[in-house]
């Protein structure tokens, strides 16, 4: 071959052996003498070891995040709270959080009182998950420290509307799950009423359409949803007494159906139907003759100046509410939570599930088998079933298991190749 001339693309000799499926067959050579049962036992043992390794790594990560809450930078503390929220949604860490309940309560309350907007919102997000995972012994102390901070943050005009909205929702869920003092619940309901009263009609019965009222719609709606959720905790007689003696009255609630914000109208419909359901057998003056035409109009709304999606969602919601008032029928809602089924047969139960799912997210499935207050709120048996269907592995667990299986296959294949090489050499 002349100097400087390179070999063509296909002129070089192939030194590797052609791939054969016999190599894969060699994987089974190392386990020929093992029985099927022993192989399954080994697989189960490896799975348990992998699970334990994952749990240990996540626990170490959670401890690191708790330590990171001491950071001097506001952004670093906010990032740690966000990461902690994600970790608590994935697993149940009561074993390690029980030893840090005072620290967590202090960090969350301090973030709500002194933190900047992002830190406050992150603290409000994680409060419910922490409260359910620190153990029943520390719940009272946690509520005494965190509840007043959330209460103040709900009406703090120095924070953004998004943060105030999040604080309203978080406070309602915490009180629904863990608060036992009815006087505290009533006080929080009054605070909520001061918020959503901004969407009442004007003195001349006209609708408030200013930009500020429309912008505050999500905040008012969160307060109204929280008020209705806590009203569902009261006994029928007590709920009727609250409507008679304290604002809002049934007539005031009906006014909110005309609000400019879709969020407020939807929340008002939910609050009205929960309040009516709770006090239907009590002496409560519900203006049904005036209420039904308004509900029918909302269920058939076709105003073009409203967004198409808004009209669609509104009609679907108010059709169900109108059907309840006309036929006393509640739409059936059955949801799978892990290996169990949650059945919501009342409007109060539907609102509770919606609020819990919104606050806990994926953590609803992870915490349901372990947390007694959450099981009670979802109307599940006191104890989780012993033989629940296997839990679907998350992405990280599947990745780790696939890596372990790949490594095992590689080792087995290499052993079989070594044995063949030795046999050929002879």
CATH of the domain at 80: 1.25.40
Q: Residue 241 contacts by C-beta under 8 Å, 6 or more apart in sequence?
A: none
Residue 159 falls inside a structural domain = yes
Shared-domain flag, residues 215 and 135 = no
pLDDT band at residue 424, thresholds of 50, 70 and 90?
Answer: low
CA distance 298 to 314: 7
Please give the radius of gyration of the chain, using alpha carbons only, rounded to the nearest integer.
Answer: 30
Could you tell me how many residues make up the chain? 426
Shared-domain flag, residues 103 and 78 = yes
**Domain interval for residue 94:** 57-180
Shared-domain flag, residues 163 and 302 = no
Q: Which domain-ending residue is among 134, 165, 180?
A: 180
Place of tokens 């149940």: 92
Tokens read off for 242: 């609250």
Give how many domains the chain has, as a whole number: 2
Shared-domain flag, residues 170 and 266 = no
pLDDT band at residue 332, thresholds of 50, 70 and 90?
Answer: confident
Q: Select the more confidently predicted residue: 408 or 151.
A: 151
Residue 396 falls inside a structural domain = no
> What is the average pLDDT value for the chain, to the nearest integer?
83
Shared-domain flag, residues 273 and 198 = yes
pLDDT band at residue 128, thresholds of 50, 70 and 90?
Answer: very high
Shared-domain flag, residues 190 and 161 = no
pLDDT at 210: 81
pLDDT at 144: 93
Q: Is the pLDDT of residue 5 over 50?
A: no
State the average pLDDT over residues 126-145.
91
Shared-domain flag, residues 310 and 237 = yes
Tokens read off for 393: 């592995």
Shared-domain flag, residues 174 and 195 = no
CA distance 34 to 262: 66
Percentage of the chain beyond pLDDT 90 is 53
Residue 210 falls inside a structural domain = yes
Going by their DSSP bridges, the two strands 333-337 and 340-344 should be labelled as antiparallel
Shared-domain flag, residues 196 and 169 = no
pLDDT band at residue 408, thresholds of 50, 70 and 90?
Answer: confident
* Top-confidence range, 90-94, 273-277, 335-339, 410-414: 273-277
Please name every residue paired with 336 in a beta bridge, in sequence order, or none if there are none.
Answer: 341
Residue 404 falls inside a structural domain = no
CA distance 127 to 339: 26
Other C-beta atoms closer than 10 Å to the C-beta of 78 total: 22
The reply to whether the predicted model has a pTM over 0.75 is yes
Range in 225-234, 295-304, 318-327 with the lowest mean pLDDT: 295-304
Residue 175 falls inside a structural domain = yes
Residue 281 falls inside a structural domain = yes
| SS3 assignment, position 378 | coil
Q: Which domain-ending residue is among 306, 329, 352?
A: 329
Shared-domain flag, residues 143 and 221 = no
Q: Which domain-ending residue is among 157, 180, 203?
A: 180
State the average pLDDT over residues 398-425.
75
């Amino acid at each position: 071959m002349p100097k400087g001339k390179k070999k063509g693309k296909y002129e070089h000799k192939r030194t590797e052996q052609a791939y054969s499926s016999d190599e894969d067959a060699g994987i089974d050579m190392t386990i020929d003498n093992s029985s099927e049962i022993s192989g399954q036992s080994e697989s189960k043992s490896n799975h348990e070891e992998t699970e334990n390794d994952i749990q240990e790594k996540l626990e170490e990560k959670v401890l690191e995040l708790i330590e990171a809450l001491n950071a001097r930078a506001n952004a670093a503390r906010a990032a740690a709270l966000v990461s902690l929220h994600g970790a608590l949604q994935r697993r149940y860490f009561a074993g390690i959080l029980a030893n840090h309940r005072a620290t967590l309560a202090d960090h969350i309350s301090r973030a709500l009182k002194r933190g900047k907007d992002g830190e406050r919102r992150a603290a409000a997000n994680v409060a419910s998950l922490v409260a359910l995972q620190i153990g029943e012994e520390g719940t009272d102390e946690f509520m005494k420290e965190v509840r007043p901070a959330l209460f103040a943050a709900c009406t703090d005009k120095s924070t953004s509307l998004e943060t105030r909205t999040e604080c309203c929702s978080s406070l309602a869920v915490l009180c629904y799950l863990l608060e036992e003092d009815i006087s505290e619940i009533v006080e929080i309901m009054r605070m909520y009423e001061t918020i959503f009263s901004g969407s009442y009609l004007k003195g001349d019965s006209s609708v408030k359409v200013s930009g500020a009222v429309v912008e505050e719609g999500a905040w008012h709606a969160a307060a109204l949803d929280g008020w209705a959720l806590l009203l569902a905790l009261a006994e029928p007689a007590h709920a009727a007494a609250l409507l008679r003696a304290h604002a809002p009255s049934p007539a005031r609630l009906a006014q909110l159906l005309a609000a400019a914000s879709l969020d407020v109208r939807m929340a008002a419909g939910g609050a009205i139907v929960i309040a009516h359901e709770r006090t239907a057998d009590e002496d409560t003056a519900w203006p049904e003759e005036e209420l039904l035409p308004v509900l029918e109009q909302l269920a058939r709304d076709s105003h073009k100046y409203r967004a198409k999606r808004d009209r669609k969602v509104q009609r679907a919601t108010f059709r169900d509410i109108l059907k309840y008032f006309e036929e006393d029928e509640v739409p059936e809602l059955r949801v799978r939570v892990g290996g169990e089924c949650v059945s919501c047969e009342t409007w109060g139960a539907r609102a509770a599930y919606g609020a819990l799912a919104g606050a806990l997210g994926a953590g609803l499935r992870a915490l349901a088998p372990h947390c007694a207050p959450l099981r009670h709120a979802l109307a599940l048996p006191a104890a989780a079933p012993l033989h629940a269907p296997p839990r679907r592995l998350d992405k990280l667990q599947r990745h780790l298991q696939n890596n372990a299986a790949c490594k095992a296959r590689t080792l087995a294949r290499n052993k079989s190749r070594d044995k063949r090489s030795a046999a050929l050499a002879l």
